[in-house]
A and B are shown apart, each in its own frame.
Chain A
Amino acid sequence: AQKITQTQPGMFVQEKEAVTLDCTYDTSDQSYGLFWYKQPSSGEMIFLIYQGSYDEQNATEGRYSLNFQKARKSANLVISASQLGDSAMYFCAMTKDTGGFKTIFGAGTRLFVKA
């Protein structure tokens, strides 16, 4: 069965420093997608970054990068130069193309950025 594991319930980072949020996944599929979403206190989920299982390069989007290690089945999110507005819940997610398109989510990591 597919599973997403985020082992860090909460993380603290100093403003302007980089932080890594961990994510491991379990799947027997060859084709899948990995995503990170941000959920501020308002509740809306915001897409951050995507990595396909066949992509050889790590994905980057501005201050976000995804450290994809396929053999280890990990997809860690790196946020560089943290800002106070980065304080939020962060969810790792995985999608498989089953013919019935589904995304599963990890339990999330709450990030606190300190001034």
Chain B
Amino acid sequence: DGGITQSPKYLFRKEGQNVTLSCEQNLNHDAMYWYRQDPGQGLRLIYYSQIVNDFQKGDIAEGYSVSREKKESFPLTVTSAQKNPTAFYLCASSIGLSVNTGELFFGEGSRLTVL
């Protein structure tokens, strides 16, 4: 079945460590996104990518990095510079780049906890 796969589902990190969250899609979508969700809040955009080898910062990019070397893959690295990384992270993709094709397809999320 087509969809988005995020891994790991749960991740624990010590302070000062970088961690990478995986996101793979087999929907042949051009655009991919990373969102952060804190308890009781909506989603905030971290980074997004419209094509391979290109990505843009979202609203809360500080302390995060991404790459887009393949169309199917958009990994997110949470660096030690991120002051409050404990959160639920959602990866998404969409078919196109206009408001009329903007439905987002989401993975099941990765829950990161900093010990």
**A43 is contacted by which of B88, B92, B97 (Cβ under 8 Å)?**
B88
Given A44-B109, A45-B90: A31 in contact with B45 (beta carbons within 8 A):
no
Given contacts A47-B104, A100-B50, contact A107 B58 (CB under 8 A): no
Q: Do A101 and B90 contact each other (CB < 8 Å), given the known contacts A91-B42, A107-B40, A107-B42?
A: no
Total contacting residues, chain B, CB less than 8 A: 30
Q: Which of A31-67 contact B (CB under 8 A)?
A: 31-33, 35, 37, 42-47, 50, 52-53
Question: What string of 1s and 0s marks CB contacts (under 8 Å) between B19-44 and chain A?
Answer: 00000000000010101000011111
Nearest residue (CB) in A for B35 is: A105
CA distance A99 to B52 in the complex (A): 16
Complex alpha-carbon distance, A104 and B106, angstroms: 15
- The verdict on B69 contacting chain A, using a C-beta distance below 8 Å, is no
In the complex, which residues of chain A have a beta carbon less than 8 angstroms from the beta carbon of B42?
Answer: 4, 91, 105-108
- Which residue of the partner chain A has the closest CB to B41? A107
**B58–A102 CB distance below 8 A:** yes
Docked-complex contact A97 and B104, CB < 8 angstroms: no
Q: Complex Cα distance A107/B92, Å?
A: 18
Complex-state Cα separation, A32 to B58, whole angstroms: 18
Is the beta-carbon distance between B100 and A43 smaller than 8 angstroms? no
**Count, A-B residue pairs, CB within 8 A:** 73
Chain A interface size band reads 20 to 34
**A105 — which chain B residues lie within 8 A by C-beta?**
35, 42-44
Q: Are B98 and A45 in contact (CB under 8 A)?
A: no
Contacts of A107 in B (CB 8 A): 40-42
Closest residue of chain A to B110, judged by CB? A43
Would A33 and B102 count as touching, CB distance under 8 A?
yes
The answer to the question of B64 belonging to the interface, with a C-beta cut-off of 8 Å to chain A, is: no
Q: Give the contacting residue for B45; candidates A37, A43, A50, A104; CB below 8 A.
A: A104
User: In the complex, which residues of chain A have a beta carbon less than 8 angstroms from the beta carbon of B40?
Assistant: 9, 107-108
Q: Which of A63-106 contact B (CB under 8 A)?
A: 91, 93, 95-97, 100-106
The 9 closest A-B pairs by CB, nearest first: A33-B99, A105-B42, A45-B106, A95-B102, A43-B109, A105-B43, A107-B42, A97-B99, A101-B97
